[in-house]
Structures are given as C-alpha cells and as structure tokens.
Amino acid sequence: MPTSQIPVITIDGPTASGKGTVAHRVADQLGFHYLDSGALYRLTALSALRRETDLADEHALAKLAEHLHCSFQGGDIILSHENVTDAIRAEEVGNTASKIATFPAVRHALTGLQLSFRKAPGLVADGRDMGSVIFPHAPLKVFLTASVQARAERRYKQLIDKGFSANMQDLLVDLQARDDRDTNRTIAPLAPAEGALVLDTSEMNADQAVEQVLAWYAAVAK
C-alpha cells in the first residue's frame, strides 16, 4: 500500500486534554501504530537538560532533535535503549519542551521522524499540529480539548500517581502559560486543523471519548 493511502487519525489538543490516553486506546482498538509527537519534543528537552545544552541555542537543539534514537514499545518510551517513560513527564521537561517547540529549526528537524511513523495498517498520531501541519490530509482529524481546570486536575492526578510532587495552583498557572505559548507561536500554532472535529472532554471520561473517536472513524472509513 502506498504511504499516502495508509489511513491516519490525528488527535490534537492542549496539554492534559486527554489526547494521549484517547489516541493510544483508539490505536489499540484499531490495531494501528501510535505516535505521541509531544513525546518527541519532551525527548529532545530531556536530552538537552541532561547535556546542559543552551536552551536558547536553536541550532544545537535542532541537532539533538535530528539525531534522536527513540521508539515506542507498548506503553513505554525508549531513548537510546533507556526507558524514559516517566522521566519525560517531569514538569521541568514539559516546560522545556513547550519552550523549544517554538523554534522552527527544532520543529523542522522532527518532521521527518514524525512522518516515518505512518505505516500499514494505519496510524493514530497525537500532538498539537498533527492535523494542521504533519498529516493535513488525514481522513479523520480530531481536536480534543477541555477546560483548564479539568486539565489541571487530570495533570495533578497523573503526577501524584507517578510519585511526583504537584501543586494545583502551580499547575493551573503552568497550563495557562503553555496554552499561551502554543496558541501564539509563529510556527504551527495550536488550533483546530481545517476540517477537524472538536471534542470537549471536560465532562467526559476516557471511555466516552474513545467511543466517540471510533464512531467518527467508522463513518469516514466506509
């Protein structure tokens, strides 16, 4: 099957909207491959922090992004043979990822890697610009969102469950700052892609969100 004919479902949205959980479960249900594009920026951020790379040096950061050796194995994220699934979820890594994602050279460096995940029988890709930039011709594009309060509560629970310390007020401020950076950046700002279906999960659980996305895909796959 030509790569251009391999089906893709894109699920974009702001931090802690639940897109990762929903995308992963939709991929499992359909037997599709899964791409967590945000993890690629977090992996770049983690590499930069570990190497003490100047976070204002766009060229150096892009070089790190270009040479990432990573893979998704089940629910685990591997970087150069190390399981960094939990390490990349630390708040410092997330904040750094949000900042370096504003650099055009970093985004360009990761584009080819993201496109390489498109393999038969299909792909579910989650992120912030999957439907608008990386896979603009995907047959189903979803924009998953939720109120900042709902997202902060989810993020708080996620961090506590993983053993990280967290403060609800700090999380609210952090999410609002990330939203502002993501929506106002010059390159690939966070916004629903053309033709995307918007799903507000503020009052929904993951099962309901997954069910809705699968129903939408069933309709376009006929």
Q: Can you give the length of the chain in residues?
A: 222
- Name the residue with tokens 């390159």: 187
> Is 16 annotated as belonging to a binding site?
yes
d(CA 190, CA 28): 26
> Is 19 annotated as belonging to a binding site?
yes
3-state secondary structure of 8: strand
- Checking if the pLDDT of 158 tops 80, the result is yes
pLDDT per residue as tens digits for the range 41-90? 999 999 999 999 999 999 999 999 999 999 888 788 999 999 999 999 88
Q: What are the extents of the domains in the chain?
A: 7-214
CATH of 7-214 among 3.90.920.20, 3.40.50.11540, 3.40.50.2300, 3.40.50.300: 3.40.50.300
> Is 13 annotated as belonging to a binding site?
yes
> Is 90 annotated as belonging to a binding site?
no
- Residue 192: asked if its preceding bond is cis (omega within 30°), the reply is no
> Is 45 annotated as belonging to a binding site?
no
- Arithmetic mean of pLDDT, 21-37: 95
Q: For the chain, what percent of residues have pLDDT higher than 70?
A: 100
3-state secondary structure of 10: strand
Q: Is this prediction's pTM over 0.95?
A: no
> Is 131 annotated as belonging to a binding site?
no
- Checking if the pLDDT of 163 tops 90, the result is no
pLDDT per residue as tens digits for the range 165-179? 889 999 999 899 888
pLDDT per residue as tens digits for the range 78-134? 999 999 999 998 889 988 998 899 899 999 999 999 999 999 999 999 998 999 999
- Checking if the pLDDT of 11 tops 90, the result is yes
Confidence tier at 147 by pLDDT (50, 70, 90): very high
3-state secondary structure of 152: helix
Q: Bridge-partner residues for 142, per DSSP?
A: 11, 197
